Chain A
Amino acid sequence: MIHLKVTNLHKSFGGLHVLKGVNLEVNGPELIGVLGPNGAGKTTLTNILDGAITPSSGTVYLNGQRIDQLQPYEVARAGLGRTFQVTRSFRRMTVLENLYVPALALGHMSQGRALTERATEVLEFLTIDHLRNEYARALSGGQQKLLELGRLLMLDPDVIILDEPFAGVHPKLMEVIYAYIRRMKAEGKAIILISHQMDAIFALSERLIVLNFGELIADGKPDDVKNDPAVIEAYLGRDDEEDAA
């Protein structure tokens, strides 16, 4: 049973308090959308969850193991994988080699036919199998997004954080990413989806959380969150005249 628990998470960079006591709990396969204006703390939260940065205070537990002091590779091995806001494929390695890295790093597969077959299955699902022997740098931006998702399939984590997976992606490829997210959910993964694409996030998410200035201001079903006054204010701003009246 997947269990991610974030408790009273704070992060400061110098005098800038980026996260202010964030609490979050994920139980079992869930598809959670994360919303928030720029500077809300979404990427910082992601970086703490994957071990890239350590929190100023607070804890993160994944399946009973404390992960907030672990190195990123240890977090990945503990069962949390992520994509990046700006695609970070291994550009001078082939598409297949990109997929081999996580599978071999975790040690649950060794080089050989089984690994190639698994990678082929992933590439076919993502509709980029024809590019298997091309260098990643030859892929379009959208195809590189798919390649990043493919690497996560090879990593096979319990919790997946997708940071802006739809940014700059052609609508046809977006359908593939939609299918990917639904498949992950069906396979019992917990997915944390960060995106500014409202249509996508409302279409896919079962639960939405909203961050604003480092605070979690809403956590609930998409319809409830959509009508939450605090969320509306965060996105549309406060009407001073109305307040005055």
Chain B
Amino acid sequence: MRQVPNIAGLGLVLFFAAFPLVYTGGNYDYVMHVLITGFFYAILASSWSMLAGYAGQFSFGHMAFMGIGAYGAALFSHYFYITAAPTGTCTEFAFFGNWLVIKNAIGVTSTTLTQDCLQQAITEWGDSVRVWRMPVLLGIVLGTVAGGLSGLLVGLLVLRLRAAYLALFTLGFSEIIKAVISAEIDITRGQAGMVLPALFDDGVTILGTEFTRTDKIPPYYAMFGLLLLCLLILTWLARSRFGLFVRALREDADAAAALGVNTTRYKVFVFTITTAMAAAAGAVQAHYIQIVTPNMLFLLQMSLVVAMAVIGGVENFVAAALGAIFLQVMLELMRTSFSIGGVTVDMTTWRLVFFGVLLMVVLRFFRNGLIAPLIDYFARAGVAEETIAKRRAGEAQP
């Protein structure tokens, strides 16, 4: 009985692993896109669940860290190049026999510059000098590190903040990041957004099958793999002393400290780990959709992640991840409008109402979500019987 969640989990992993290979229904690319987006939100919801549900740190800045990862990868791929010869105009450094070139920022409204320094050099060079983009994977790693370091900094800043104060602080941080990205048009291109190379820009071959940059299977497995990696790390952490200590921190930070737990270290640690995961998801998503804009950081997006975690079950990161995938799929399925008695119900709008009602019902009647209690039910099967049996055995003793 207690193994049911593990068996169900393994079944789900196998299902999602096989799905792109066996799915034969229509709208293949659209269905894959919905699931890739679902996995993206699942990473955000599960990492937020570790932060808020396990450690009790109700941060509303999770999307800001996702944005830092996304923009970190975008800025890196946009500004950094390797060239075989110096441009003479860009900022550049000798780099293992080639040149590391950093392009100048020209924004989107410059009236004096129509080309950046590298583009001018390429125009002059023609095909005589080779120019390489930076590896996408390196950009994702750097975006992840940038997000994690930002999380470390914020974790240190919010050490003494709890509950609503922590939520407001992180919300403010998120708005600042969004405002800075919007304002620094020269560097970030503001609301125009930044275009990134595809996740597999030159295509990829998997098990002898060649995929182009627009095929959905490679990004599907990339995002799914990242989700599994995050869930494995979270599982390992939750089962280690880290998981025990952050839950103690959530329950009562003062009592945990009085029992020898370095609450400062674990609070900062949980911020760093979970924000790095959000940043990794953002970086991969940015390369998948190939554009980043400040709209990614809208408060509505954060609310969506929170709702997904709450509906799945905020105190269980697997439930939060499943809640995210479930909601993403449901929100897409509910796009289909229908008529009742000649009255057309425009579901593109009404689906959000259903979503809101579902959230309210869950908060009112299912405080730990819809999926987490199921997992808990099976995982704790037999505990009550064991308690009763032990108590009776104790009473029977002379």
Contact = CB atoms under 8 A, between A and B. Distances in A.
Nearest to A108: B260
A102 B391 CA distance: 26
Contacts of B386: 133
Contacts of B244: 93, 97, 100-101, 104
Interface in B7-48: none
A72 B257 contact: yes
Nearest to A148: B255
* Residue of B247, B258, B263, B383 with highest tally of chain A CB at under 10 A: B258
B394 interface: yes
A130 B391 contact: yes
A149 to B, nearest CB: 12
A73 B248 contact: no
B304 interface: no
B390 interface: yes
A76 B260 contact: yes
A71 B251 contact: no
Interface in A97-116: 97, 100-102, 104-106, 111
* Residue of B245, B248, B380, B386 with highest tally of chain A CB at under 10 A: B248
Interface string A177-211: 00000000000000000000000000000000000
Given A88-B255, A90-B251, A90-B252, A73 B260 contact: yes
Given A88-B252, A101-B244, A105-B245, A82 B258 contact: yes
A156 to B, nearest CB: 10
Contacts of B380: 133
A81 interface: yes
A225 interface: no
Contacts of B250: 92
* Residue of A71, A88, A155 with highest tally of chain B CB at under 10 A: A88
A27 B286 CA distance: 65
A101 B254 contact: no
Interface residues of A, number: 34
Contacts of B383: 133-134
B26 to A, nearest CB: 45
A170 interface: no
Interface range on chain B (Cβ under 8 Å from partner): 20 to 34
Contacts of A89: 251, 255
A75 B260 CA distance: 8
A77 interface: yes
B337 interface: no
Given A93-B248, A105-B245, A77 B260 contact: yes
Nearest to A94: B383
B238 to A, nearest CB: 12
A105 B252 CA distance: 15
B387 A81 contact: no
B387 A104 contact: no
Contact of B258 (A76, A104, A133): A76
Contacts of B247: 90, 92-93, 97
A73 B251 contact: no
B254 A88 contact: yes
Contact of B259 (A105, A131, A133): A105
A72 B253 CA distance: 11
B229 to A, nearest CB: 23
A75 B259 CA distance: 9
B383 to A, nearest CB: 5
Contacts of A77: 260
A77 B256 CA distance: 12
B263 A73 contact: yes
Contacts of A88: 252, 254-255
Given A93-B248, A101-B244, A104-B244, A84 B255 contact: yes
A219 interface: no
Contacts of B256: 90, 101, 105
B261 interface: yes
Given A92-B315, A133-B383, A134-B387, A76 B257 contact: yes
A102 B260 contact: yes
A101 B261 contact: yes
B235 interface: no
A151 interface: yes
B257 A73 contact: yes
Contacts of A72: 254, 257-258
Given A81-B259, A131-B387, 12 more contacts: A72-B254, A73-B257, A73-B263, A76-B260, A88-B254, A91-B251, A92-B247, A93-B247, A97-B244, A102-B259, A105-B259, A129-B390
Interface of B: 240-241, 244-245, 247-248, 250-252, 254-264, 315, 380, 383, 386-387, 390-391, 393-394
6 contacts: A76-B260, A84-B255, A84-B258, A93-B248, A97-B244, A106-B260
